[in-house]
């Protein structure tokens, strides 16, 4: 068996992207439905491949979380198929007119949405990403060039094969999804340097992957970054609302990037608020400043470090800081935030406005949980990641963020003088 070179794979994705860019919405939707049908019909094949991955991971001594992320069952495969149908039902961003005007000389200018081309995605163990990412790419007219982990290779292969078959049955190129089967360390490096092939790389992984991208990538990329999210409870907060929001933001799903990691409380209400919220944070380890230790006691709160303030715990741990005023709260947030999501709880409109104006994060939330920064909750119908960078996309990314624009200029013989 000859393994295709990375360049070959890239060339196939590129060629497919040119066909996809011109495909009608109807053709893309029909391909997504065909892929979903085949995924359902082929569930046994997918689960069989998945068992091989899971057994190998267990033999290799992988921890339970890793194995859980890897493991598929009938319900998870059905959810993948449903996801493809959901994406088919979303509005097609391609061809949307973003802006348009006529110049004084009569030249007409329109800015319209077009696909990016080839979207590269590096991801870890979850095999459902293969289907989810491929679906979003197809709907937005892009070829999906996927590089998953070696632990999920058999699962990814079986899913990709079914999706490719579905695309082909509908008359779209099977190379609308190209899976990199060489999962060596070198292949990641090669992947992120395919300039001229990959139009946008979305790395979904931990800090070491992001560091490698910053250092070695030559293709354009969007960083799906950490979420060191804060909730600030203001002096003018409805304290019951604040407690409900803090508990939800911290505990509803602590392992995700929009979970809160840090609680900041105005001194004027700390004495009342901390004992009020504490029972809801029963399973949560608190690491706080002197004032919070004084209020809740050293048995409940351990001393916080500067490193704690800057960390995304992704766990049932929360840092606590008591501040003198709004300025100190904003300073604290700005200093430690990773630029993902910060929330304020307050009844005071001027305070809310200042917080939203002065805090520089992808999402700045008033009187709601940080957990709402999410493609689904924003109404995008899906999500390919959450950008914490400022260029191209900031916040939840879905179909619109998988497009670029071009200018269509129309004249009647216009020349410059």
Residues that bind a copy of itself in the complex, under the rule CB under 8 A:
18, 21-22, 101, 103, 107, 109, 114, 116-117, 195, 199-200, 214-215, 218, 220, 222, 238, 241, 244-245, 248-249, 252, 334, 352, 356-358, 360-369, 371-373, 377-379, 389-392, 394-395, 404-417
Nearer to a copy of itself, 266 or 340 (CB): 340
Structure tokens at 8: 């070959």
To a copy of itself, the closest distance from the beta carbon of 213 in angstroms equals 9
Distances (CA, A) of 211 to 65, 203, 305: 23, 11, 24
Q: Report the residue number, 226 or 291, with the smaller CB distance to a copy of itself.
A: 226
CB of 199 to a copy of itself, least distance (A): 5
Query: Cβ of residue 20: shortest distance to a copy of itself, in angstroms?
Result: 12
Distance between first and last Cα of the chain: 61
Rank residues 182 and 238 by Cβ distance to a copy of itself and give the closer one.
Answer: 238
At its nearest, how many Å lie between a copy of itself and the CB of residue 218? 4
Cβ at position 265, least distance to a copy of itself in Å:
17
Of 157 and 336, the one with the shorter C-beta distance to a copy of itself is 336
d(CA 278, CA 259): 17
Tell me how many degrees the CA angle 215-220-223 measures, rounded to the nearest 5: 70
Contact 60, 69 (CB under 8 A): no
Closest CA to 178 of 224, 125, 133: 133
Calpha distance 194→122 (Å, rounded): 13
By the 10 Å C-beta count (0-12 exposed, 13-18 middle, 19+ buried), 85 is classed as middle
Half-sphere exposure of 209 (CA within 13 A, CB side): 24
Query: Cβ 379 to a copy of itself, closest distance in Å?
Result: 6
| Residues 118 and 145 sit within 8 Å (Cβ to Cβ) | yes
Largest CA distance in the chain: 80
With CA atoms as reference, report the closest residue to 378 among 361, 399, 357, 359: 399
**What is the distance between the alpha carbons of residues 240 and 246, in angstroms, rounded to a whole number?**
10
Query: Closest distance between a copy of itself and the C-beta of residue 243, in Å?
Result: 10
CB nearer to a copy of itself: pick between 52 and 407: 407
- Specify the residue, 184 or 410, whose C-beta has the smaller distance to a copy of itself: 410
In the complex, the smallest distance separating the C-beta of residue 77 from a copy of itself, rounded to whole angstroms, is 25
CA-closest candidate to residue 145, choices 219, 198, 81: 198
Q: Which lies closer to a copy of itself via its Cβ, residue 166 or residue 225? A: 225
Nearer to a copy of itself, 305 or 407 (CB): 407
CB of 249 to a copy of itself, least distance (A): 8
Is 255 or 407 the residue whose CB approaches a copy of itself more closely? 407
- Measured on CA atoms in the order 166, 168, 170, 176, is the torsion positive or negative? positive
The DSSP-derived string for 321-341 is: EEESSHHHHHHHHHHH--SSE
């Amino acid at each position: 068996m000859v393994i295709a070179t990375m360049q070959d794979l890239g060339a196939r994705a590129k060629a497919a992207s040119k066909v996809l860019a011109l495909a009608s919405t109807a053709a893309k939707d029909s391909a997504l439905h065909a892929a979903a049908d085949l995924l359902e019909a082929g569930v046994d094949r997918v689960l069989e491949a998945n068992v091989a991955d899971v057994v190998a991971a267990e033999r290799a001594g992988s921890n339970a979380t890793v194995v859980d992320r890897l493991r598929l069952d009938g319900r998870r495969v059905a959810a993948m198929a449903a996801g493809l149908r959901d994406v088919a039902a979303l509005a097609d961003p391609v061809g949307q007119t973003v802006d348009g005007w006529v110049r004084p000389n009569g030249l007409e200018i329109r800015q319209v949405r077009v696909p990016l081309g080839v979207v590269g995605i590096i991801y870890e163990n979850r095999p459902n990403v293969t289907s989810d990412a491929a679906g979003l790419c197809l709907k937005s007219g892009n070829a999906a060039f996927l590089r998953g982990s070696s632990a999920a290779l058999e699962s990814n292969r079986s899913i990709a094969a079914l999706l490719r078959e579905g695309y082909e049955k509908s008359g779209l190129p099977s190379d609308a999804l190209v899976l990199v089967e060489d999962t060596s360390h070198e292949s990641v490096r090669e992947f992120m340097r395919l300039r001229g092939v990959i139009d946008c790389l979305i790395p979904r992984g931990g800090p070491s992957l992001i560091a490698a991208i910053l250092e070695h990538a030559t293709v354009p990329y969007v960083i799906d970054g950490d979420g060191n999210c804060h909730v600030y409870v203001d002096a003018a907060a409805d304290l019951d609302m604040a407690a409900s929001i803090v508990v939800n933001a911290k505990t509803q799903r602590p392992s995700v990037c929009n979970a809160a990691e840090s609680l900041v409380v105005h001194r004027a209400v700390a004495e009342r608020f901390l004992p009020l919220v504490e029972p809801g944070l029963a399973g949560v380890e608190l690491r706080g400043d002197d004032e919070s230790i004084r209020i809740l006691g050293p048995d409940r709160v351990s001393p916080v470090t500067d490193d704690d303030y800057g960390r995304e715990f992704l766990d049932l741990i929360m840092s606590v800081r008591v501040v003198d005023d709004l300025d100190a709260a904003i300073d604290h947030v700005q200093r430690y935030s990773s630029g993902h999501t910060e929330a304020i709880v307050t009844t005071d409109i001027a305070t809310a406005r200042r917080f939203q104006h002065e805090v520089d994060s992808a999402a700045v939330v008033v009187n709601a949980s940080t957990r709402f920064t999410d493609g689904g909750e924003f109404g995008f119908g899906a999500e390919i990641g959450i950008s914490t960078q400022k260029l191209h996309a900031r916040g939840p990314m879905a179909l619109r963020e998988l497009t670029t624009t071009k200018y269509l200029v129309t004249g009647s013989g216009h020349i410059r003088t």
